[in-house]
Structure 1
């Protein structure tokens, strides 16, 4: 974080400083295991644990300041007491952003692809200057301010990922970021159960474009009607990407599931799995176009980029040599379909079976059953060799696949039974997709198939 006295921080967040006043310039963390020498520990209340119970652990790891909601008693650490630690983090992040006028901020949102696009962009921008971006999917009212608080006076680029489950979520967070480039990748069905309609999702995503600072640039996909419409309504300059955009991949092919294509008449080979990754790469290229970065250098960096975040088409192998694709971080109908297309293509290329182990896609509301039925039918249409469905949603997919004519579809009520079934008939040339929404914890199955233990 930029240097601020503890008393300054207290003034910014409307808190009371207890203990010594000193110049703070360390990291800001909410997990005591990430505390290091000179850290500020934010004692956030959680669903299952209270951060206040871990202040001593943070102190033992080197933390020198704590942001808390009540007095700490015997814990010997300087602390700032505030009414709400989460609100205080947002206030502090807003102040840090305001003190960094030279900072160029890129905001990314969309129903899928945010984290992979962010990972690609981080690796490109780091080539040009110091860049800060969130770890994994830190894209909410806690993760976003923590990301801003990573910035120092040396930081040139800040990449922020914006998630939302309600209209107004993005507007609230964007108001503290002063965004220069706002990218909306795609509008789909993710979280439609929370929003009520895809139109409401589009409205929420457009909040990022509306938040642009003067002279800001909107980067918009052209893969579906909502982002195309946003390009017509954006307040300033627009850079588009995708099939009808300024940045458009041409002559795309797959090699072992990794896309190769042309942009600017320059060849790009992505070290990311699946044809759907091309849209993420186009978005990263379009953002760089908005930033007026050298195209040749950008392409070179993209060719070197690698996946950074776990459980997003993450490759590994079973002890017997089968290729395993762990895509368990999240799932919605669009991302599920893209993953199934990929596993079918790789299975064909490897001359092996494509095996899909699928669980529930959550937060789909009233469309949940029909969405899972559609995925089951798609499995049959793509000629996925074997479908293993887990849980009630998995059973829905299996039934739909069987009705569509699939001959090798099986449902299981628990992970262990499904795992035993899959392991009993694994072949070295198989490619296995494991995918579901994060809350189903199918990553445990992927870990065990890879010969490890679930984390």
Structure 2
């Protein structure tokens, strides 16, 4: 249940959501969006989405203690506030609450790295006075939910903003204001949903409209947003802009950066920030290289609110994402099992493979990849590129591919290349435990038992969320123990 600052009675709530109160006025305790939650004295919002209709559960909410519901169903009987759109009502409540609390607000978007940057900022700032997006609740519902979790004690609000469709941020931009906007990067993640890279860019940049006058935009994706929307594919740099009263951007500073791996120690990097001889030199420890730039973006954003960049980088060295399926390393016997199963797109797939390929560790690599979703017309070519990249890895012992999208592409590879590939066609069966425990003497291409419990190895497991690749992490870990 969410406590709404400054709204204590049904009539005031109805006024805030531009609704009509169809009952007598009385006080209420808070707002809930879950009809199953026992919420004595609360108001339930009957939200609607592509696959659900909260109006169907209004009676359940009343039975669990709610005193009224916000609905757009004018046939619904009982104490309610009638509105045109329940999602708009949620946004209006969150907007009112946001203005009452007035926290310094940093929004984060991009194709990759949003969650990591959000968690990094959360590590640096005072936990008691900071609210950050919970786990991956970054969609059109999660954003207002995060805002409603703020209390009068909240000084800083960190909003992770994810989108899967063109125009997803339109209402968010109209409803809220940010002090800072961070854009981590842009690639073809979910391009099948958006329709084109241009639509992805337009949707992400829509959030600039929510940045306050004289607010800050920090991004590592474009050449110069004050000039055009051309992606930066030529160099590594981070730009900082100030917004003017016309919502235009003035470029104030650019930081070129260089990341180099330590030749003697895996998971250790040298970062140079700045182009001249006085550039900042940083030694940074992290499991995966792209977290170096995530740490730099985080530190530059925090520098704008008074944190020392060197101190922030020092505190982020060795950072482990608390969400355990984002390149999380399990050490099991003489194996490293890398659980990167949260999600996948072509950029993150190749980044993860590059990372373990660059390590000096002599153990063989076993790469288990599940299909990538939402790539539209790019799907075939991108799956083929991923296979090709994997087959080019040094010390690759076996490439295990899961799903029909990968299956459709392996015919393009030579017989010699296919000898390194095991194809698992059914992504929802109990493959991992069944195959891993099969007698290793069985002569079958599907047998992978012999690739485990030998001389150790580094096992990378990654795929799109719908592939549920965490099954492999669990089964392999159980088997190796």
Cα pair 2:183 2:221 within 8 Å, conserved:
no
Which secondary structure does the structure 2 equivalent of 1:246 belong to? strand
Cα pair 1:112 1:186 within 8 Å, conserved:
yes
Which protein is richer in helix relative to its size? 1
Q: Which string of whole-angstrom CA distances, capped at 9 and with x for unpartnered residues, describes residues 386-422 of structure 1?
A: 1111121121454456568363201121144641335
Matches within 5 A, 1:177-326: 177-221=176-220, 226-228=230-232, 235-236=248-249, 238=251, 245-246=254-255, 248=257, 250-253=259-262, 258-262=267-271, 264-270=280-286, 273-303=287-317, 305-317=319-331, 322-326=335-339
- Cα distance, 1:312–1:406 mapped onto 2, change above 3 Å: same
Q: Which string of whole-angstrom CA distances, capped at 9 and with x for unpartnered residues, describes residues 75-103 of structure 1?
A: xxx754444322211121122222234x2
Given candidates 7, 14, 19, the residue that maps to 1:10 is: 14
Q: Cα offset for 1:430?
A: 2.1
> In 1, distance between residues paired with 2:262 and 2:299?
18
1:449 counterpart = 2:465 = no
Once structures 1 and 2 are overlaid, which stretch shifts more, 430-439 or 306-315? 306-315
Which secondary structure does the structure 2 equivalent of 1:216 belong to? strand
Cα pair 2:28 2:41 within 8 Å, conserved:
no
- Cα distance, 1:64–1:104 mapped onto 2, change above 3 Å: farther
User: In the alignment, what sits opposite 1:368?
Assistant: 379
> In 1, distance between residues paired with 2:459 and 2:347?
19
- Cα distance, 1:266–1:285 mapped onto 2, change above 3 Å: same
1:21 counterpart = 2:26 = yes
> In 2, distance between residues paired with 1:140 and 1:248?
31
Q: Cα offset for 1:37?
A: 7.1
- Cα distance, 1:293–1:57 mapped onto 2, change above 3 Å: farther
Q: Structure 2 stretches of 5 or more lacking a match?
A: 224-228, 274-279, 438-448
Matches within 5 A, 1:290-439: 290-303=304-317, 305-317=319-331, 322-345=335-358, 348-349=360-361, 351-383=362-394, 384-396=396-408, 398-400=410-412, 402=414, 405=417, 407-415=419-427, 416=429, 418-419=431-432, 420-422=434-436, 424-425=449-450, 426-427=452-453, 429-439=456-466
Matches within 5 A, 1:138-177: 138-177=137-176
> In 2, distance between residues paired with 1:307 and 1:56?
40
Q: Cα offset for 1:113?
A: 0.9
Cα pair 2:284 2:292 within 8 Å, conserved:
no
Cα pair 2:296 2:313 within 8 Å, conserved:
no
Matches within 5 A, 1:28-47: 28-31=31-34, 41-45=44-48
> In 2, distance between residues paired with 1:40 and 1:344?
54
Count of residues in correspondence between the two structures: 436
